């Protein structure tokens, strides 16, 4: 099948919805339809569409989940056959069992062929559920304390969902997770959101024999060293694993690549992306679908 790379992303605060960019090589990207929005958000607490994660399922249907609000217990969901015409949007109450949940951030979705279901996962803070560092050390006391862990649910039909559970508990504050399959094992890239006593703000890798774990110890932080990054997305292009990320304090994107997920090369200088691009996902799609978008 003739395929091209597609980057789903948002701009601003996510008010105007889904944006798409395409690339032939994974490095030089061009916004589709001059950066127009392909789907306006209409569900969730704040009706935003941040962190749009797109997956092309084994049935050829595109499934998308996204962050609907800075605060609350829902995530957004919609599906499409062609990325132009979308199903009714739904706000999935994934944290309804924890009514004090502060937030549901950066949901992602994979298809686990071994188990025959879709796995949706995200990060949330549930006050009192995990130990919170000494509040007197916080420098931003105007913000509510957050101590995220990763949660997940599974579904086969997007009508019924398994009970939400803790998906990854490394003992530290973590957000912005993304999963890919590497042979028979699963690889998850996660952002360390530690703030106290010293801010970490880096990304690391863990591995597991299944998409549910058990997860290995975290790797050393991925490069670049000393740069605050978030929103990783991963894809293998040829022999190279590419990890894209938002260097959010610098207001620019970066990408590193590796053949073995151990030794990394920074190729950010070769990366060309649409202006204002923010946290999304990279995937392969049939060229005919992209031609339809244009």
pLDDT at position 294, please?
85
Sorted by sequence, the CB contacts under 8 Å of residue 231 that are 6+ apart come out as 51, 106, 176, 191, 245, 246, 248, 278, 279, 280
pLDDT at position 196, please?
75
- Average pLDDT over the chain reads 95
pLDDT at position 198, please?
81
Q: Which of 254, 229, 252, 228 is nearest to 242 (CA)?
A: 254
**Model confidence over 76-91: pLDDT tens digits?**
999 999 999 999 999 9
* DSSP state for residue 125 in the 8-state scheme: -
Q: What's the count of helices (H) and strands (E) in the chain, helices before strands?
A: 1, 19
What is the C-alpha end-to-end distance of the chain, expressed in Å?
Answer: 19
pLDDT at position 278, please?
96
pLDDT at position 131, please?
76
pLDDT at position 136, please?
45
pLDDT at position 134, please?
54
Please report, in tens digits, the pLDDT of each residue of the chain (294 residues total).
799 999 999 999 999 999 999 999 999 999 999 999 999 999 999 999 999 999 999 999 999 999 999 999 999 999 999 999 999 999 999 999 999 999 999 999 999 999 999 999 999 999 989 876 655 445 555 566 789 999 999 999 999 999 999 999 999 999 999 999 999 999 999 999 998 778 899 999 999 999 999 999 999 999 999 999 999 999 999 999 999 999 999 999 999 999 999 999 999 999 999 999 999 999 999 999 999 998
Q: Which helix (H) or strand (E) holds 281?
A: strand 278-286
* DSSP state for residue 212 in the 8-state scheme: T
Sorted by sequence, the CB contacts under 8 Å of residue 5 that are 6+ apart come out as 22, 23, 24, 25, 26, 29, 235, 237, 282, 283, 284, 285
pLDDT at position 144, please?
62
pTM of the model: 0.96
* DSSP state for residue 34 in the 8-state scheme: G
pLDDT at position 30, please?
98
Q: What is the largest CA-CA distance in the chain?
A: 57
pLDDT at position 256, please?
98
pLDDT at position 137, please?
47
Q: Which CATH architecture has domain 3-293?
A: 5 Propeller (2.115)
């Amino acid at each position: 099948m003739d395929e091209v790379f597609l980057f789903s992303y948002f701009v601003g605060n996510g008010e105007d919805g889904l944006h798409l960019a395409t690339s032939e090589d994974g490095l030089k990207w061009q916004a589709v339809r001059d950066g127009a929005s392909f789907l306006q958000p209409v569900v969730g607490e704040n009706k935003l569409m941040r962190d749009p994660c797109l997956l092309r399922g084994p049935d050829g249907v595109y499934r998308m989940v996204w962050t609907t609000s800075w605060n609350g217990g829902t995530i957004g969901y919609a599906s499409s056959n062609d990325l132009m015409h979308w199903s009714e949007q739904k706000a999935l109450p994934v944290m309804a069992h924890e009514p004090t949940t502060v937030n549901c951030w950066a949901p992602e979705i994979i298809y686990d062929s071994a188990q025959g279901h879709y796995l949706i996962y995200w990060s949330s803070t549930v006050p009192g559920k995990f130990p919170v560092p000494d509040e007197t050390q916080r420098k931003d006391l105007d913000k509510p304390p957050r101590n995220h862990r990763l949660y997940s649910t599974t579904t086969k039909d997007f009508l019924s969902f398994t009970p939400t559970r803790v998906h990854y508990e490394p003992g530290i504050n973590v957000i912005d997770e993304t999963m890919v399959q590497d042979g028979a094992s699963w690889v998850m890239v996660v952002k360390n959101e530690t703030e106290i006593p010293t801010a970490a703000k880096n990304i690391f890798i863990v591995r597991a024999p299944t998409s549910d774990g058990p997860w290995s110890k975290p790797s050393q932080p991925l490069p670049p060293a000393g740069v605050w990054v978030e929103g990783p997305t991963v894809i293998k292009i040829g022999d190279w694993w590419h990890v894209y990320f938002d260097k959010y304090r610098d207001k620019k994107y970066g990408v590193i690549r590796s053949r073995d997920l151990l030794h990394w090369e920074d190729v950010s200088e070769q990366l060309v992306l649409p202006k204002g691009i923010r946290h999304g996902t990279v995937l392969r799609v049939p060229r005919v679908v992209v031609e339809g978008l244009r």
